[in-house]
Structure 1
Amino acid sequence: METIRWVERDRDHEAEWHSESGAPVPGRVVVADDTMTADAAMRLASRGTATLWRGDYHNARQLLKAMDRRIERRASPRQRGEVTFAGHRAERTQRATLMAHLVVELGPDRSLDLRRAPDVREACLAAYGPGSGPVVVALSELLGVIGAHQWQTKGVYVPALGASIHPAYGVFSPVRGEYIDLVANAPLAQPVPRTAFDLGTGTGVLAVVLAQRGVERVVATDINPRAVACARDNAQRLGVGDRVEAVEADLYPDGRADLVVCNPPWLPGEPTSDLEAGIYDPGSDMLRRFLSGLAEHLEPGGEGWLVISDLAEHLGLRAREELLGLIDDAGLEVVDRLETVPRHQRASDAKDSLHAARRAEVTSLWRLTVAQGRQSAR
């Protein structure tokens, strides 16, 4: 636990500092209200000074939007038109860092004591758990917590399930349904596999799909405790809790399965927060470990399903030859590859700096088996 300190009305104050992105405690804090301008807030943020908001909640949101517009205008024409992945990430990181300097204080009960503020206690308790004292967080993070709680409460409708999945805060939401459709429609061996592993389960959506398709026992693993609890909750909600077992594990559980499904983060790169862990896979580590460990975790005649986009290839982050080499080195062979194109809004947004890569993106389900020589060696 880190502590943030400031002076307000000639008195020293302190609170717990919380940042999901791991941002350091601001070295200096200025208390501000509705008289604070966006230009002034930007100057403070540029110097590493946090603005602790005591004014109207809706005015704080407007101030955050105004800061965002100024950050956009400050970018050079080249930066605004940057199409490289490195430039895109650098711009987003800088933007997030500056905007995170507008902060608010939550009470010990996770309440937000600002004029016209909504009741955020339930959302904050779901994300952070109960508190023992006041805590200071970035307003941008708090807005994310509120939005995530709305998704968790309302759910995300998944056509392949004919039902909704309820993503918890900090768990990657299945808003891109095309990869789910691939798992829902890929041909299953006959008779239907008795056991399956779903590695990196997240919300548990793929584990539920497999259970609904008739798999008797699905072990869903994730290294994130929030995801394990979320997957367990969704399996229970959708009536397959008796067949889906969600466990905390670093990829593979013990034993073997007839079918192993893995949907690793699609982009090689270092996540800057736990929230990005579902997007970035450092050094393609999860992908490599899934492939290298597949043969020893498959029952004879079993299949591994790798669900992955080729966006990394279009961004120059990984070559197709590298993926094929990893498959070959693991003693695996490709039985089939099912493909689909993205349907999300950014794929058709010409203003997106990565538009060309997103427009060309293809998501695939690679059906893998143990190569014949490797199978006989077992």
Structure 2
Amino acid sequence: MAVSKAEVNGMSELTLNKPEIIVSDKQLMLFSKGTDVRLTIKTLEAGHPVLITAFYSNGLTLLKELKVYLHKKLPNKSFKEQREYRAQYKKLSSLILIEIVDYKLAVKKAPAIGWLEKLYPEASRFLLPFVQVQGLNSAWQWYENGVNIPVLRNKIHPYFGTYFPTRYDHLILFDNWLKRYEGPKKSAIDVGIGSGVLSLQMVKHGFQKVHGTDTNPNAIFGLNESIKDTKLSRKITLEYANLFGTHEKQTELIVFNPPWLPTSSRLNRLDEAIYYNESLFPDFFESAKQRLLPDGKLVLLFSNLAQITEVTKAHPIEKELAEGGRFELEKCLKRKVKLASDKTKRDQHWRALEEVELWVLKPI
């Protein structure tokens, strides 16, 4: 990922995540409809880039042929073959390039992708991997058309590189809890604000001020762009920071929708929306205790996903309640997750056992 600078409401410049551009003076192999596919793939295997020309669909064709070739070479019959297949596809597909000139793809019948101008305002001619362009195109459609979230009145428009929910059971659980919440609504903190759904839910239910933090600069920048000229800008403040950032004032409600799966590997910024490291929960609970009013509530949205997929038997919230000495349980609400579509190709037999959880803790 490359980075670019952007400023949010007078904050120091944010470094946005984006696909890294390629500038090359070398003669590249060109691929179009009549090009020898086998020779093209051999060129990729030798580590040499290939440039898609003429039509956008030629890139789709080459990716399809690459998958067919790799499936024959690595039949995916064992876990080792599956892992090797994914690694090979990622390596070779990243060498398939497409040219951008004046913020447009330099081929016919190509989609218009607004991110090319938003993310690369100072670059007029460059190359990008075709698979990265596909990702930019999908992200632009979500951003332009918006995403309907059942618990919100209006669509959200997620910025490039920002996590947004595609499953809603935990959001429905939170919305139902908010409907019954009878505490004060002067302020709240949303840790890991992401695309802003939880904050928007709280504002919908009458909270006067919500402070949102995130370690993903794209999330903070994108949300700021979305709300800066609306009434929401007076209700939601944003900070690019880990956990609570510089926010020291105690509040009535702290909300956290953390990652649901543990990992032992090094995380990048996008992975942080999916996997948590071993220090996340201890650090969070320690900081949350200091920032919660004596009669305040701490709400965490979680899942039994890690347990039912046997990733781990440990449950970080249960561990805090048993050993932390900082909070006690007020209630834990659970909701069965809808089964995956019959059309999905993934093996998700465990989904029948999955539940989302809403934990309400209060300080001791």
TM bin, normalised by shorter chain, reads 0.7 to 0.9
Q: Secondary structure of 1:259's partner?
A: strand
Offset of residue 22 of structure 1: 7.3
Residue aligned with 1:306, SS: strand
Partner of 2:51: 52
User: Offset at 1:104?
Assistant: 1.3
Identity over aligned pairs, percent:
23
Q: Taking structure 1 as reference, are residues 284 and 125 closer, same or farther at Cα in structure 2, changes over 3 Å only? A: farther
Shift of 1:315: 2.8
Contact 1:208 1:235 in 2 (8 A): no
Task: Give the match for residue 290 of structure 1.
Answer: 284
Give 2:63's aligned residue.
Answer: 64
Which of 167, 175, 179 is 2:166 aligned to?
175
Within the candidate set 186, 199, 202, 1:194 is matched to 186
Shift of 1:32: 1.7
Counterpart for residue 29 of structure 2: 31
Residue identity matched to 2:155: S
Q: What are structure 1's unaligned runs of at least 5 residues? A: 3-18, 373-378
What is residue 129 of structure 2 aligned with on the other side? Answer: 138
Per the alignment, residue 103 of structure 2 pairs with: 110
- 2: CA distance between counterparts of 1:341 and 1:239? 35
Alpha-carbon distance between aligned partners in 2 of 1:236 and 1:42, rounded to the nearest angstrom:
48
Question: Which residue identity is paired with 1:279?
Answer: I
| Structure 2 equivalent of residue 366 of structure 1 | 359
Instruction: Flag structure 2 segments of 5+ consecutive residues without an equivalent.
Output: 3-16
**Structure 1 residues 262, 72: closer, same or farther in 2, change over 3 A?**
farther
Superposition deviation, residue 161 in structure 1: 1.0
Residue 279 of structure 1: which of 260, 264, 274 is its match?
274
How many pairs are equivalent?
A: 343
Aligned to 2:296: 302
Other-structure match for 1:318: 312
Q: 2:253, 2:297 within 8 Å by CA — same for their partners in 1? A: yes
Q: 1:235: how far off? A: 4.2
Note if contact 2:19-2:128 (Cα within 8 Å) is conserved in structure 1. no
Structure 2 CA distance for partners of 1:33 and 1:361, relative to 1, 3 Å: same
CA-to-aligned-CA distance 1:207-255 (integer Å, 9 cap, x gap): 0100111111100111222111222344458743321112211111312
Letter in 1 for 2:135: G
CA, structure 1 residues 358+44, in 2 after alignment: closer, same or farther (shift >3 Å)?
Answer: farther
Correspondence 1:232 to 2:230 = no
Which residues of 2 match residues 349-360 of structure 1 at below 5 A?
Answer: 351-353=345-347, 355-360=348-353
CA displacement 1:64-86 (0-9 Å, x = unmatched): 1232343344434433xx5xxx9
Q: Shift of residue 338 of structure 1? A: 1.7
Q: Distance in 2 between matches of 1:37 and 1:357?
A: 44
Q: Name the counterpart of 2:10.
A: none
> What is the letter of the counterpart of residue 213 of structure 1?
H
Are residues 1:334 and 2:329 paired? yes
Partners in 1 of 2:221 and 2:59 — Cα distance? Answer: 33
Q: Once superposed, what is the RMSD of the aligned Cα atoms?
A: 3.2
- Partner secondary structure for residue 240 of structure 1: helix
Q: Distance in 1 between matches of 2:307 and 2:243?
A: 24
Tell me the SS of whatever aligns to 2:77.
helix
TM-score relative to the length of structure 2: 0.82
- Asked if 1 retains the 8 angstrom alpha-carbon contact of 2:159 and 2:223, the reply is no
Separation in 2, partners of 1:361, 1:286 = 23
What is the aligned partner in structure 1 of residue 176 from structure 2? Answer: 185
Amino acid in structure 2 at the alignment position of 1:113: A
Question: 3-state DSSP class of the match of 1:36?
Answer: coil
Check 1:251–1:90 CA distance in 2 against 1; reply closer, same or farther (3 A cut). Answer: farther
